Chain A
Amino acid sequence: GAGVSQTPSNKVTEKGKYVELRCDPISGHTALYWYRQSLGQGPEFLIYFQGTGAADDSGLPNDRFFAVRPEGSVSTLKIQRTERGDSAVYLCASSPTGAYYGYTFGSGTRLTVV
């Protein structure tokens, strides 16, 4: 597609459940990023992929969070044993290489844990 696609756009889950958030980047973009945005805050870095490998996962808050990009295209962010504090908008972005010239963001997945 022409842009970065994220699904679902909204997800409501119960505390303790497992969720998967999907990101379909711009075709040909090797760099893929996940950010989390809480209400009233700027996007907060979670993880960065260069191709299939996670080049930097220093932003993942704990071991309940995991992300994969098995074929170097679509990525899935996985959250186990969700907590109410995980409620936020999860943004995915992609770029041709790294961060110079910026990235293109998707519209995000709004996750609500009840």
Chain B
Amino acid sequence: GESVGLHLPTLSVQEGDNSIINCAYSNSASDYFIWYKQESGKGPQFIIDIRSNMDKRQGQRVTVLLNKTVKHLSLQIAATQPGDSAVYFCAEIDNAGNMLTFGGGTRLMVKP
């Protein structure tokens, strides 16, 4: 399948360490954000979302932080595993709530 992310920023971490992936968004009026994970040859897969009335949301091993002042999102992955290796995208919703705009993505590489 297609290999995405050949020219993307890359974060390389050791298995078991925590990972932090950052994203800047553009629409200050956006009230909903999502992190997606994309493995090679596959479509993006939903990981976690957050509404703009929250600063933090936790899932299983993942946490999303939202800083509306500087229009910044981060995705934290605890105890990173080899299966976490992928390209990660943040996405923001449009003002009508109809569609998502994606950021440029970060490739996460987990070293065993």
A and B associate = yes
For A4, the closest partner residue in chain B by CB is B43
The segment from A36-44, A64-72, A77-85 that touches chain B is: A36-44
Residue in A closest to B39 when the chains form the complex, CB atoms: A107
Contact across chains for A40 and B100 when beta carbons are under 8 A apart: no
> A114 contacts which chain B residues (CB < 8 A)?
none
Residues of A within 8 A of B44 (CB): 43, 91, 105
Contact (A100, B89) CB under 8 Å given A40-B5, A40-B8, A110-B2: no
User: In the complex, what residues of B have CB within 8 A of residue A107's CB?
Assistant: 1, 41-43
A42 to B25: give the CA distance in the assembly, Å: 13
Q: Given A33-B99, A100-B97, A107-B42, do A42 and B105 touch, yes or no (CB 8 Å)? A: yes
Interface residues of B in 48-63 (CB under 8 A from A): 49
Query: A53 vs B34: C-alpha distance in the bound complex, in angstroms?
Result: 26
Does the CB pair A108–B102 fall under 8 Å? no
Contact residues in B for A48 (Cβ distance below 8 Å): 98-99
CB neighbours of B7 from chain A (8 A): 39-40
- SS of B interface (majority): loop
For A12, what are the chain B residues with a Cβ–Cβ distance below 8 Å?
none
- Docked-complex contact B1 and A56, CB < 8 angstroms: no
Of all chain A residues, the one with the shortest Cβ separation from B43 is: A105
A104 to chain B, nearest CB (A): 8
- CA gap between A98 and B1 in the complex, in Å: 28
Q: Which residues of B are interface residues toward A (Cβ below 8 A)? A: 1-8, 32, 34, 36, 41-46, 49, 89, 91, 93-94, 96-105
